Chain A
Amino acid sequence: MSKMNASTKAPSGPTALSLVRGLAFLVIGFLAGAQLVSMIRLAMGLPLYLPWNPKANQYLFTEPAWVLGVVFGTVAFMIGTRVFDDWFRWAKGEATPEHPEAYQPKGFARFLTISYDHKVIGIQYGLVSLLLFLLAGSFALTFRTELAAPGLQFMKEGSNIIGMDGLQFYNTIMSLHGIIMIAAMLAGVAAMSNYLVPLMIGANDMAFPRLNAFSFWVNIPAAIWLVLSMFLGGFDTGWTGYPPLSAKAPLGMQMYFSAMYFVGMSSIFGSLNIIVTIVKLRAKGMSYFKMPIFVWTAFATSIISLTATQLIGLSFQLVMFERLFGMSFFNPVNGGDPILFQHLFWFYSHPAVYVFILTGLGVISELLPVFVRKPLFGYRWVALSSFGIAIVGFLVWAHHMFTSGMAAYLRVPFMYSTLLVAVPTGVKFFSWVATIWEGKMTFQTPMLFVLGAISIFLLGGLSGPPNGVVATDLHVQDTYWIVGHFHATMFGGFVFPFFAAIYYWFPKLTGRMYNERLGKLHFFLMLPAFYLQSLGQMQVGLLGMRRRIADYDAALGIDTSQLLITIAGYAIGIAVLIAVYNFYISAKRGAIAEANPWRSRSPEFMLPSPIPAHNYEQPFEVVGEPYDYGLAGSVYASFKPVKPVDTGELPAGAQPAAAD
């Protein structure tokens, strides 16, 4: 069908409706995989299907059938979207055109179709990220409503919510809130680095455009499996999935593990692509210390994602093997050790938060000089501090395990390494303060979000040492204090910068300006609401509120705070909806944007809005410093005509214009 439609325009390029084809293939692939296991069961003389009985954890197919179905379904989805097509052709020894982009559908359909253009993929990631944010946010509001008053309101034991017991439902959406937010942030990080890195370094695309498309599309089936877990008994482990509970949780647990496996795959290949792009495709004259700060942070985060992600994948896979094959890695009865899981898990999951915040901090450092019209203070130190955070980040994981029963002698070294993170982070803070110092500030929406991010991240940062120090952590472990701290770091380190980035690059993304009034409304609603929520969480935590539970004792005297946290949560939700509305109407009917509304020096703002398909018709040469705002006559990127490069020799670091 889609082949026919597209053949009028695109005889050989990717066709429209990749998403629809992929989903159809996904269903077929899932059924094939699940049926395969069922047939093997039949051959072994076992009943072909189970009854649908969530109470007994039976969902038509057996657990191995579901897992193989998920694997087959994901592969089939990828085949259906035609992400693999060019690779199959290469395996057959055929060559393919470098840029089949000329045959892209117009309008919004572009984003539902496979594309190798890094800008389209960046926006695709961004859309998925926002969607997942909304979903996970709605989960948060659901269980915040339950928590607004002591006692159990509607998630009661014995009540039935989408086939689950009320308390199991609470546990499930609490767990899903965490993990879907993480998937959303990973997608948001990928959105920003995909869209911005090639533009900032003067490349016309990523180093491996097909791998880039693969990295994006594998997220779609992953998101589907993740949401599906709700209807398969859910899971009650929290987002961490610790065994032994996760080895016994309902089928939803398996969906969570398999989904995150594919999300991890996306992270690994996405970051590999970013690193190669940064190392190999920089414009002429752009030495490492002339790269924009955001590129530095993308580099540092990519190193984390590339390596550490394997270990969370491994830890999840080992639990899956426990469940599927009766193996034991974490069960002490058979010689396993549950602490091992926590080591493997946190080896990724702690650095993962630096993946989110480093990207966000990169946006802050990138935007701040533009809006204060001053050079970024201490460029080299800021650039290197990202690597400092990334490297130290690898050495701190066991601070999540002070109370877990791991060897006691490990505590103090991990305490010191944890506190060491404050040093490179402090470098960034001093740089921001010194950059703002005596600057000519203007307060458009992106700048407001940057300032908001700095203030909230400060709150998150200052609430960190009590968790990093063993003596105090023993008291605050698993309380709402941790929840407050974590949300402050994530909002300050990722959410606010992410919104700042969307507003700031909105003209480049859509060719139109966002609505400044709605943008400001978004900010001035979200910032106080967030402070209320986060400080409230810290307060109830210190007063004895445990995290992850559906109920609390009225005698704790925290019900007013809990109610305020819930109200603040709803205010944040409304603010985000305002933002989404703003993006939607501005993309449709906003004022046409000029090429450089912020008077930025960054090369992507030298291009028209929106950016043409093959970014730089003519390569630029870096001749100055990236952040010399306010210095008369300084130039960063020079677009003077250069000699044609195809002389048979490799020019050092240069990137020739698009070959077509």
Chain B
Amino acid sequence: MTTHAISPVEYRKKLSANRLGLWLFIVSDAFIFGGLLVSRFYLLGTSERPEVNQVVGLVVTSVLLLSSFFMNRAETAIAHNDRKTFLFSTLITLVLGTIFLIGVVGVEWPISHFDGGAASSLFFTMTGFHAFHVLTGVIFLLVVYRNGRNGHYSAEQHWAVEACAVYWHFVDVVWIFFYPALYLIGLPAL
């Protein structure tokens, strides 16, 4: 931010455009998750649900929800120029996001055996799509954390942190819909 610094007026104009852009991206992305949910309900009960582990499901869900709290804390902290809390909370979010990824891809996937049926296919596709978004969020967090440690971002100019937080909350909200659709309904008895 040294050689091509822009005036606060320019920054505010850009910021408002960036915000709208991000929200439009989220609206767009929501449609793909919506489509997956629709597919899930459309094919509900036509084949046996995979043997998911409820404990793992509950743990990863709690971890992800908790991570959103720390993400919010990080953003609020940088908005108040509290650099230490910002960095610490970002790191916690990063760790929790990684735990979520390991929980879903590393623990849940091997347990819930893929049998080629529609419900099983959707389980892996939906968790896979979501895990991919979490992964991109984790990479985003890494970028923010690294730049934060290098002294970037201030109370006035921290768009990247804000964007990362909004995106992270979005991924979290998606899981709030996916968790019941994948873990809590559609028992084989249907």
Considering only CB atoms and an 8 Å cut-off, how many residues of chain A contact the other chain?
A: 50
CA distance A328 to B121 in the complex (A): 6
Given A313-B32, A337-B42, A280:B121 Cβ within 8 A: no
- Residue pair A91, B143 in contact (C-beta under 8 Å): yes
Q: Is B185's beta carbon under 8 Å from chain A?
A: no
Q: Which residues of B contact A306 (CB under 8 A)?
A: 24, 27-28
Task: Name the segment of B11-19, B61-69, B174-182 touching the other chain.
Answer: B11-19
Given A329-B121, A335-B118, A93:B13 Cβ within 8 A: no
- The smallest C-beta distance from A203 to any residue of chain B, in angstroms, reads 11
Residue of A nearest to B47 (CB): A335
Q: Is A646's beta carbon under 8 Å from chain B?
A: yes
CA distance A327 to B126 in the complex (A): 12
CA distance A405 to B21 in the complex (A): 40
Contact with A along B13-49 (1 / 0, CB 8 A): 1001100110011011101100110110011001100
The residues in B between 1 and 16 inclusive whose CB is less than 8 angstroms from any CB of A are 1-10, 12-13, 16
**B-side interface size class:** 35 or more
CA distance A327 to B118 in the complex (A): 7
Q: Of B28, B42, B125, B150, which is in contact with the most chain A CB atoms at under 10 Å from its CB?
A: B28
- Residue pair A276, B39 in contact (C-beta under 8 Å): no
Q: Is B80's beta carbon under 8 Å from chain A?
A: no
Given A326-B116, A646-B7, A276:B46 Cβ within 8 A: no
* Of the residues B9, B20, B46, contact of A646 by C-beta under 8 Å: B9
Residue of A nearest to B152 (CB): A93
- Residue pair B20, A276 in contact (C-beta under 8 Å): yes
CA distance A211 to B6 in the complex (A): 20
Q: Which residues of B contact A326 (CB under 8 A)?
A: 116
Contact with B along A255-298 (1 / 0, CB 8 A): 00000000000001000110110011100000000000000000
- Residue pair B4, A321 in contact (C-beta under 8 Å): no
Residue of B nearest to A96 (CB): B4
* Of the residues B12, B24, B35, B146, contact of A311 by C-beta under 8 Å: B35
- The smallest C-beta distance from A288 to any residue of chain B, in angstroms, reads 15
Q: Is A308's beta carbon under 8 Å from chain B?
A: yes
Contact with A along B146-158 (1 / 0, CB 8 A): 1100101000000
- Residue pair B116, A327 in contact (C-beta under 8 Å): yes
Q: Is B167's beta carbon under 8 Å from chain A?
A: no
CA distance A449 to B1 in the complex (A): 50
Q: Which residues of A contact B106 (CB under 8 A)?
A: none
- The smallest C-beta distance from A27 to any residue of chain B, in angstroms, reads 27
- Residue pair B124, A327 in contact (C-beta under 8 Å): yes
Q: Is B122's beta carbon under 8 Å from chain A?
A: yes
- Residue pair B125, A321 in contact (C-beta under 8 Å): yes
Given A207-B21, A329-B122, A307:B31 Cβ within 8 A: yes
Interface of A, secondary structure class, is helix
Q: Is A318's beta carbon under 8 Å from chain B?
A: yes
CA distance A311 to B42 in the complex (A): 15
Q: Is A650's beta carbon under 8 Å from chain B?
A: yes
CA distance A329 to B7 in the complex (A): 53
- Residue pair B118, A336 in contact (C-beta under 8 Å): yes
Interface of B, secondary structure class, is helix
The residues in A between 332 and 353 inclusive whose CB is less than 8 angstroms from any CB of B are 334-337, 340, 343-344, 347
Q: Which residues of B contact A334 (CB under 8 A)?
A: 47, 116-118, 121
Given A311-B32, A327-B116, A335:B24 Cβ within 8 A: no
- Residue pair A328, B116 in contact (C-beta under 8 Å): yes
The residues in A between 176 and 210 inclusive whose CB is less than 8 angstroms from any CB of B are 207-208
CA distance A179 to B56 in the complex (A): 44
Q: Of B8, B12, B35, B143, which is in contact with the most chain A CB atoms at under 10 Å from its CB?
A: B35
- Residue pair A93, B147 in contact (C-beta under 8 Å): yes
- Residue pair B9, A650 in contact (C-beta under 8 Å): yes
- The smallest C-beta distance from B83 to any residue of chain A, in angstroms, reads 15
Q: Is B96's beta carbon under 8 Å from chain A?
A: no
CA distance A207 to B46 in the complex (A): 46
CA distance A307 to B24 in the complex (A): 9
Q: Which residues of A contact B146 (CB under 8 A)?
A: 93
Q: Is B94's beta carbon under 8 Å from chain A?
A: no
Q: Which residues of B contact A98 (CB under 8 A)?
A: 4, 6
CA distance A340 to B37 in the complex (A): 12
- Residue pair A321, B121 in contact (C-beta under 8 Å): yes
Q: Is B138's beta carbon under 8 Å from chain A?
A: no
Q: Is B119's beta carbon under 8 Å from chain A?
A: yes
- Residue pair A650, B13 in contact (C-beta under 8 Å): yes
The residues in A between 620 and 649 inclusive whose CB is less than 8 angstroms from any CB of B are 645-646, 648-649
CA distance A96 to B5 in the complex (A): 9
Given A321-B121, A646-B7, A276:B17 Cβ within 8 A: yes
- The smallest C-beta distance from A307 to any residue of chain B, in angstroms, reads 5
Q: Which residues of A contact B118 (CB under 8 A)?
A: 328-329, 331, 334-337
CA distance A331 to B43 in the complex (A): 11
Given A336-B46, A336-B118, A650-B12, A95:B3 Cβ within 8 A: yes
Q: Which residues of A contact B12 (CB under 8 A)?
A: 650
- Taking Cβ atoms with an 8 Å cutoff, the residues of A that contact B are 91-93, 95-98, 207-208, 211, 268, 272-273, 275-276, 279-281, 306-311, 313-315, 318, 321-322, 325-329, 331, 334-337, 340, 343-344, 347, 645-646, 648-650, 659
**11 further contact pairs, Cβ within 8 A, besides A307-B27, A311-B32, A328-B116:** A272-B24, A306-B24, A306-B27, A311-B35, A318-B125, A331-B118, A334-B118, A335-B47, A335-B117, A340-B42, A646-B9
Which 4 interchain pairs have the tightest Cβ spacing? Answer: A335-B47, A327-B121, A335-B118, A335-B46
What are 22 A-to-B residue pairs whose CB atoms are below 8 Å?
A279-B20, A280-B13, A306-B24, A307-B28, A309-B28, A310-B32, A310-B35, A313-B32, A314-B35, A328-B116, A328-B118, A331-B118, A334-B116, A335-B46, A335-B117, A335-B119, A337-B42, A337-B46, A347-B35, A646-B7, A648-B8, A659-B6
